[in-house]
Amino acid sequence: MSLQVYNIIIGMFCFAFGAAVGSFLNVVVLRMAKKESFLKGRSYCPVCQKSLTAKELIPIFSFAVQKGRCRGCKSKISWQYPILELVTGLSFVFAFCALGLRPRLAFAFVLFAVLIELSALDVKTGEIPYHCSIIIAALGLISFIVSLSLSQNVKLSEHIIGLFIISAPFAVLSFLGAMGGGDVQLMAAAGFLLGWSVVPSALIGFITGAAAGIIIKLTKKTGVISFGPYLSIGIAISYLYGNEIIESYRSFLKI
């Protein structure tokens, strides 16, 4: 088997696994938005309350086969379901293409799943759950310990600096009412995970958020913009390419 075919097979597995994780995230998001437990009970149609069978829970495929409608009451199924499954699957493939098969890929899968969950919840409820930031911070601690055990050159001071370098000015903005507290805790956790790489993640988040905000205000005339999804994009990109972005910037400035 050639390396190219091997990578394609692994990529397909990553997409299938990501789509399955995305299906679970749909349950988490919808039930947390309703203040329900996502650990109890089978998945059900929110309209007719019909319990869903295994055939109705196949990521993306079931939505397409059922033409976006419940098999029981024929009510429309939210596009959130296939979109979340597709985005999660593609993000897992993207992570594999960037990192290859190594321990850091497992961290990327967990990080991307949490970022997708908090983004969906931020859009749906306007809040970023505390547990999402806690998981990201825990990933930072675990990855630091793993790096030390592998005798890699890591410095705790860089993670501590990352913890405050973006979250501190965000806290000031939150105090002034320009940003939510969830954004502050998210960037603090991301900073502990990424270290200095949290800086480009914030810049990417601001740029994409500003662009989306302009488009939303021009089309929907709404003043409420969830910032979590755009910060999540920046965090994901910086986790994969943060060091390269910083080195390119330093090279450009000849620092």
* Per-residue pLDDT tens over the stretch 27-54: 899 888 887 777 777 777 777 777 777 7
Outline where DSSP puts E strands in 36-81.
Answer: none
pLDDT at 223: 61
Q: What is the C-alpha to C-alpha distance for residues 153 and 147, in angstroms, rounded to an integer?
A: 8
What's the CA gap between 218 and 164, in Å, rounded? 34
pLDDT given for residue 38 in this prediction = 74
Please list the rounded mean pLDDT of every run of 10 residues in the chain (255 residues). Answer: 83 96 92 79 74 81 85 83 95 95 92 96 90 95 85 81 91 84 93 92 91 80 78 95 85 69
Query: Would the pTM count as exceeding 0.85?
Result: yes
What lies within 8 Å, CB to CB, of 69 at 6+ separation is 75, 76, 77
Q: Where are the domains of the chain?
A: 1-101, 103-255
| Crossing angle of the two packed helices 80-99 and 3-33, in degrees rounded to 10 | 140
Cα separation, 93 vs 12, whole angstroms? 8
Q: pLDDT at position 14, please?
A: 96
| The pLDDT value given to residue 13 | 95
> In the prediction, which pLDDT does 237 show?
96
Spatial separation of the C-alpha atoms in residues 205 and 118, rounded to whole Å: 14
Tell me what pLDDT residue 71 has: 80
What's the rounded Cα separation, in Å, for the pair 1 and 104? 25
